[in-house]
């Protein structure tokens, strides 16, 4: 029975750990240095400081959308002003937000903007070099990260108050050597960081440094030393409830799993790995990253609209001044009576022109709102499509593979056993086989397997056959249809599926057909039915998510969507879109 348990734990641990790679996780630190702001001289300075406090509070409380929108506006206003201290604080906050949400390239842009304002402040220079080093390290640009950390240490050397920061810098610099596989140098620098931290008494900071030392021991093959070090990490971080404590505990659990696996104790390895999975959740980070980019796009769109409105206003002012000067000269030349008559006519003309301009502006705003709504709908649908692809890929390529691997390990265990195979193993194999089948079915439900393997033509043929029944016969014909870009095929398959669903639900038809032809750079799809037809305007007003959604997606793809429907002849829908290979 002990052999059986070891085989089970070993199999499950190796299967689950394979998607991460057997390398312990190294802790990368960041630290925040406060920008010293000069005393407020004016009431305006006081109001600006209050605005920034409000932004910080919103972001801290989780109102990221509102806080980030206000921060972008705040940065734009401060860039036009003269208070560099406030601008530096805003740049640093923006860079930290982007870095937290894995947009490291944009984060570096803001950190480099900070550099030109803090050249005389060694404390802030040390902080900024450190932050850039952490970003380069996450981008795996190790030489750049090493340069930034060394500069950070150079500026921090003469400041006893920065001992905690020196410990963090040395820890991250040790991580660079760790990733370069220079474990001797990595351990030497990590021990410097630990010796600095011992006198400071910050348990969670020391836990992060010890976590790094444990990883180095592991990579050197000193599993006992690694295990001893990780246990100290867990003890130092087990009582805290902050995000930093939880993150440190999470790393300690997975690294303990590695250390136990190195020693061959797979039961303890699997237990600590399970504790890691229960703490580690990156979903919120991904959602927040998408949210930041969506806000930035909306902000840029609003900014562009404001610039256009300002340009129109300036042109109107220039035109008005021109009319005024002409009117003044005319007053001198023609006399008071003729001037009054001209003035009245001119005012009427200006009012009429102003009203026309107002109508033009209103039309532009309506078009802009419509475009934003279409883009928003398509962004949501594209996000949903990507999520379905990701889930289907994980189910098919990862979970299904893991179940198959587990089944193979159980089969190997049955061969190794010299006695009669326990019934539990047989039942376990049956359960795993059933689970794998359900996973495959769910994966195919999310994204058609026929579409992925054989392309749009075969998938549409399969869709017609599955949708046909005793009351509705759906035929399919194609001309020259080959393989296209996978995302393009998925989008077209979803659109055709939506239109077929409309036929099934509303048309009351007995016959329907789909004709698909490749016209070189264009793909033409014609869908017909002999049903009761409908009035397009009433359908759009009734639900804006059916045909209107299909139309908006086709428009964004650069295509054409036409509907011809009567009660006598049924409905004919034509879709023409540019082909993507």
pLDDT tens digits, residue range 402-419?
Answer: 777 777 777 777 777 767
pLDDT value, residue 534: 83
CA distances from 151 to 17, 130, 154 (A): 37, 8, 5
Q: Would you say residue 228 has pLDDT above 60?
A: yes
Residue 58 in any domain: the answer is no
Between 348 and 301, name the one with better pLDDT.
348
Q: Both 494 and 506 in a single domain?
A: yes
Q: Both 426 and 473 in a single domain?
A: no
pLDDT value, residue 38: 40
Q: Both 467 and 543 in a single domain?
A: yes
The number of folded domains in the chain is 2
pLDDT value, residue 31: 42
Mean pLDDT of the chain: 76
319: its two tokens: 């035109």
145, 183 in Cβ contact below 8 A? no
CA distances from 137 to 430, 500, 535 (A): 46, 51, 60
Q: Both 467 and 524 in a single domain?
A: yes
**Model confidence at 388, in pLDDT bands (50, 70, 90)?**
low
260, 214 in Cβ contact below 8 A? no
Q: Would you say residue 543 has pLDDT above 50?
A: no
Range with lowest mean pLDDT among 74-83, 390-399, 472-481, 565-574: 390-399
Range with lowest mean pLDDT among 112-121, 401-410, 569-578: 401-410
Q: Would you say residue 148 has pLDDT above 80?
A: yes
**Average pLDDT of the residues in 177-191:** 88
Alpha helices, H only, 265-335:
266-279, 283-334
Q: Would you say residue 560 has pLDDT above 90?
A: yes
pLDDT value, residue 369: 64
Residue 270 in any domain: the answer is no
Residue 368 in any domain: the answer is yes
Q: Both 487 and 404 in a single domain?
A: no
Distance between CA 392 and CA 256 in Å, rounded?
31
Q: Both 409 and 461 in a single domain?
A: no
Residue that the structure tokens 């836990």 belong to: 207
Residue that the structure tokens 């702001």 belong to: 37
User: CB neighbours (10 Å) of residue 559?
Assistant: 19
Q: What's the CATH number where 520 sits? A: 3.30.565.10
Count of CA atoms in the C-beta half-sphere (13 A) of 59: 22
Q: Would you say residue 429 has pLDDT above 80?
A: no
**Model confidence at 538, in pLDDT bands (50, 70, 90)?**
low
Residue 541 in any domain: the answer is yes
Full strand arrangement of the beta sheet holding 570-578? 473-479, 511-518, 522-529, 570-578, 560-566
Q: Would you say residue 287 has pLDDT above 90?
A: no
**Domain assignment of residue 369, given as a range:** 335-447
pLDDT value, residue 6: 45
DSSP state of 160: G
**Average pLDDT of the residues in 421-437:** 78
Instruction: Using the 3D structure, point to which of 447, 473, 506 is the last residue of a domain.
Output: 447
Pairing of strands 511-518, 473-479: parallel
525, 500 in Cβ contact below 8 A? no
Residue 468 in any domain: the answer is yes
125-136 per-residue burial string, b: 16 or more CB within 10 A, e: under 16: bbbbbbbbbbbb
CA distances from 403 to 88, 270, 435 (A): 52, 17, 8
User: CB neighbours (10 Å) of residue 316?
Assistant: 14
Distance between CA 24 and CA 449 in Å, rounded?
36
Q: Both 527 and 548 in a single domain?
A: yes
pLDDT value, residue 60: 76
Residue 558 in any domain: the answer is yes
52, 72 in Cβ contact below 8 A? no
Q: Both 538 and 507 in a single domain?
A: yes
**Model confidence at 528, in pLDDT bands (50, 70, 90)?**
very high
Range among 166-180, 259-273, 296-310, 362-376 rated most confident: 166-180
pLDDT value, residue 316: 67
Q: Both 421 and 477 in a single domain?
A: no
Write out pLDDT tens, residues 123-141: 888 888 999 998 998 888 9
Q: Would you say residue 13 has pLDDT above 60?
A: no
Q: Both 469 and 505 in a single domain?
A: yes
pLDDT value, residue 477: 94
**Model confidence at 384, in pLDDT bands (50, 70, 90)?**
low
Residue 532 in any domain: the answer is yes
Instruction: Using the 3D structure, point to which of 385, 413, 447 is the last residue of a domain.
Output: 447
Instruction: Using the 3D structure, point to which of 422, 447, 472 is the last residue of a domain.
Output: 447
pLDDT value, residue 56: 79
Q: Both 401 and 428 in a single domain?
A: yes
Q: Both 366 and 462 in a single domain?
A: no
Residue 567 in any domain: the answer is yes
Q: Specify the 3-state DSSP secondary structure of 562.
A: strand
> What length is written for the chain?
581
Region of residue 472 (left: phi > 0; alpha: psi -120 to 50; beta: else): beta
Q: Would you say residue 142 has pLDDT above 60?
A: yes
**Model confidence at 475, in pLDDT bands (50, 70, 90)?**
very high
Between 63 and 175, name the one with better pLDDT.
175
**Model confidence at 378, in pLDDT bands (50, 70, 90)?**
low
């Amino acid at each position: 029975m002990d052999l059986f348990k070891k085989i089970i734990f070993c199999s499950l641990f190796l299967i689950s750990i394979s998607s991460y790679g057997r390398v312990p996780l190294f802790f990368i630190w960041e630290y925040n240095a406060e920008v010293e702001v000069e005393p407020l001289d004016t009431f305006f300075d006081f109001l600006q400081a209050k605005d920034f406090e409000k932004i910080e509070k919103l972001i801290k409380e989780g109102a990221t959308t509102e806080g980030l929108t206000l921060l972008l506006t705040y940065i734009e206003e401060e860039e036009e002003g003269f208070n560099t201290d406030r601008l530096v604080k805003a740049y640093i906050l923006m860079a930290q937000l982007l870095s937290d949400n894995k947009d490291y390239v944009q984060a570096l842009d803001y950190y480099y903007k900070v550099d030109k304002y803090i050249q005389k402040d060694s404390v802030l220079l040390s902080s900024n070099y450190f932050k850039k080093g952490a970003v380069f390290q996450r981008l795996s640009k190790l030489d750049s990260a090493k340069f930034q950390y060394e500069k950070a240490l150079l500026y921090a050397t003469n400041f006893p108050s920065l001992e905690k920061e020196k410990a963090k810098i040395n820890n991250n610099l040790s991580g660079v050597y760790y990733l370069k596989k220079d474990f001797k140098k990595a351990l030497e620098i990590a021990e410097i960081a630990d010796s600095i931290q011992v006198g400071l008494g910050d348990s969670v900071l020391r836990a992060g440094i010890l976590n790094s030392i444990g990883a180095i021991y592991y990579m050197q093959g000193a599993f006992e030393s690694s295990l001893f070090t990780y246990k100290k990490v867990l003890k130092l971080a087990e009582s805290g409830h902050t995000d930093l404590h939880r993150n440190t505990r999470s790393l300690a659990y997975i690294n303990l799993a590695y250390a136990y696996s190195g020693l061959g104790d797979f039961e303890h390895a699997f237990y600590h790995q399970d504790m890691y999975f229960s703490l580690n959740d990156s979903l919120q980070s991904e959602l927040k990253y998408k949210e930041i980019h969506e806000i930035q796009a909306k902000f840029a769109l609003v900014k562009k609209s404001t610039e256009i409105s300002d340009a129109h206003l300036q042109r109107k002012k220039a035109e008005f001044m021109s009319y005024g000067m002409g009117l003044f000269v005319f007053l001198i030349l023609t006399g008071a009576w003729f001037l009054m008559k001209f003035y009245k006519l001119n005012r009427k003309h200006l009012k009429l022109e102003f009203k026309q301009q107002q109508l033009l502006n209103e039309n532009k705003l309506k078009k802009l709102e419509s475009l934003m709504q279409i883009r928003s709908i398509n962004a949501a649908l594209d996000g949903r499509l990507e999520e379905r692809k990701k889930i289907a890929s994980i189910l098919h390529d990862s979970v299904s593979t893991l179940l198959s691997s587990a089944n193979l390990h159980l089969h190997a265990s049955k061969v190794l056993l010299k006695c009669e195979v326990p019934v539990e193993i047989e039942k376990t194999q049956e359960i795993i086989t059933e689970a794998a089948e359900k996973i495959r079915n769910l994966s195919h439900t999310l994204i058609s397997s026929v579409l992925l393997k054989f392309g749009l033509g075969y998938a549409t043929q399969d869709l017609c056959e599955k949708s046909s029944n005793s009351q509705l016969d759906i035929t399919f014909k194609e001309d020259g249809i080959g393989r296209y870009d996978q995302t393009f095929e998925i989008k077209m398959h979803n659109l055709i599926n939506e239109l077929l669903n409309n036929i099934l639900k509303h048309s009351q038809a007995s016959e329907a057909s789909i004709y698909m032809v490749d016209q070189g750079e264009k793909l033409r799809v014609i869908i017909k039915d002999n049903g009761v037809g409908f009035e397009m305007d009433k359908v759009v007003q009734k639900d804006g998510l059916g045909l209107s959604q299909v139309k908006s997606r086709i428009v964004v793809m650069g295509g054409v969507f036409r509907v011809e429907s009567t009660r006598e002849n049924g409905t004919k829908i034509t879709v023409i879109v540019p082909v993507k290979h």
